Amino acid sequence: MAESKKKKTLWNFVEHLEGDKVVWIIVLMLILVSIVCMFSSTSRLLKEGETRIDLVKSQFTTVFMGLGLILVCYNIKSVNFFRNLSKYGFLASLVLLVLLVSKIDTGFIKSISLNGARRILSIKGQQLHVFEAVKIMMVMYLSWAVDALKKGELKGPKEVIWQKILYIYGPFLITTALILPGSNSSAIFIGGIMFMVILLGGGNLKELSILAASVLILAIGSYGIYKLSDGKYMQRVGTFMNRVSDKDWEEIYLNSTDRKERQTALDKIRQPVSAKIAIKEGGLIGKGPGQSTQRYVVPDISEDYMYSFIIEEYGFVGGLLVLILYVSLMARGALIARNCGNDLYAALCVAGLTLLISGQAFLHMCVNTEIGPMTGQTLPLISHGNFAFLCFCGAFGVILSFSRIAARRIEKETLMAEPLMEMHEDVGARLQDLEELEEYDI
């Protein structure tokens, strides 16, 4: 009788895939949602002469690049590789932010202002959204810095407090200060994520209170510059204050008799109100793919208001599915971080990146449902934005790589553990045979 051969099936491939399989499923599901949404989203993304098929082709290209990046990171089996790379995260962030804030404009690189916000560097025509890269690099850098501090590996001053200021608190404040001119909401969000990484790393509560007070002083100083310059400098402070002010633009639009004031009010409420209309019209199961109407009203529906668009086309069910994916990521990230053992760097990286992705998703959803003011935060891996997509793919690749390492550590500890009871050799052999039989089609 010929020897049975193991069949190569998709299930066998998935079964032998290392790393956290739930995270793999979440990544693939989010990518599928992004492809479907790009096909039926706003035509504003189309260039002259293009069709929606061209848009989907472009999205597929970005998706394949993103999956390639995930696989590259996933197949790096050394924590030390990521640790050594992370130590340069602040330097890279500093260079990008300085170029952005300095309004550089050469033939090769240019700082671009879009809608009054300076967030993009154009490098030979390719747009690089600086904040998307900085938020990931700083999470990984601070994870390294906190871990290196605990291990006594930091160079420079011998006093621990000065090491913290030089490697942790200083970079935190500098990064936040450089982000502020481009986006107050991004500075608050990214600063909050960095703060959580330091806190999870065992930060001193007294020192962190001083750090929080320093950020508050920085914010007050920015507001002072805005007021003293009559809005010439730190213009985003004015934008932020308008968004959180108590001025009821809807009331002004309904009751004002001044044409200019009514038009200003309409411009202010057009996007958030249309987003709420999209959610209401979505109902339970939505209008169906390509049937959204609010995409013609909301210019940024493929970016800042993607969640509203999903609910309009796929209803409460579709919105709930997306929410479950991000909640599941948060739960699995916590599990992976816990299983990283004594490796503080890996645990902080996983926790920080998970908080970053899921936190940004929840913030996006809150804005879309008008629970909070407009922030400009996109829906990770779903909203349009090629560079942001690739950055988040890199983050997922790191999480999957560390989940792979964590799984191996768990397996090693299990094999080294004392057995609860002695197993007879014949029984052990039979169990092994059964495990092998399960891999064959008999």
pLDDT over threshold 50, residue 442:
no
Mean pLDDT of 7-26: 69
pLDDT over threshold 90, residue 70:
yes
Which carries the bigger pLDDT value, residue 159 or residue 118? Answer: 159
130: closest CA among 121, 122, 117, 140? 121
Q: Is 176 helix (H, G, I), strand (E, B) or coil?
A: helix
Mean pLDDT for all residues in the chain: 80
Segment holding 111, helix H or strand E:
strand 109-114
**Weakest-pLDDT range from 21-30, 303-312, 355-364, 428-437:** 428-437
Query: Which residue do the tokens 């690739």 mark?
Result: 390
Question: What residues form DSSP beta bridges with 395?
Answer: none
Mean pLDDT of 313-322: 91
Q: Residue 130 CA to chain centroid, in angstroms? A: 13
pLDDT in tens, 260-306: 766 676 666 677 777 788 888 888 888 887 777 777 666 666 677 88
pLDDT score recorded for residue 287: 84
Q: What percent of the chain has pLDDT over 90?
A: 33
**First vs last C-alpha separation in the chain:** 13
- The predicted model scores a pTM of 0.83
pLDDT over threshold 80, residue 40:
no
In the chain, where the domains are located: 88-377
Q: Residue 232 CA to chain centroid, in angstroms? A: 32
pLDDT in tens, 168-215: 999 999 999 999 887 788 888 999 999 999 999 988 888 889 888 988
- Listed in sequence order, the residues at least 6 apart from 316 whose beta carbon sits closer than 8 Å to its beta carbon are 282, 283, 284, 285
pLDDT in tens, 359-414: 999 999 988 887 766 777 888 998 878 889 999 999 999 999 998 877 766 666 55
Identify the band that residue 440 occupies on the pLDDT scale cut at 50, 70 and 90. Answer: very low
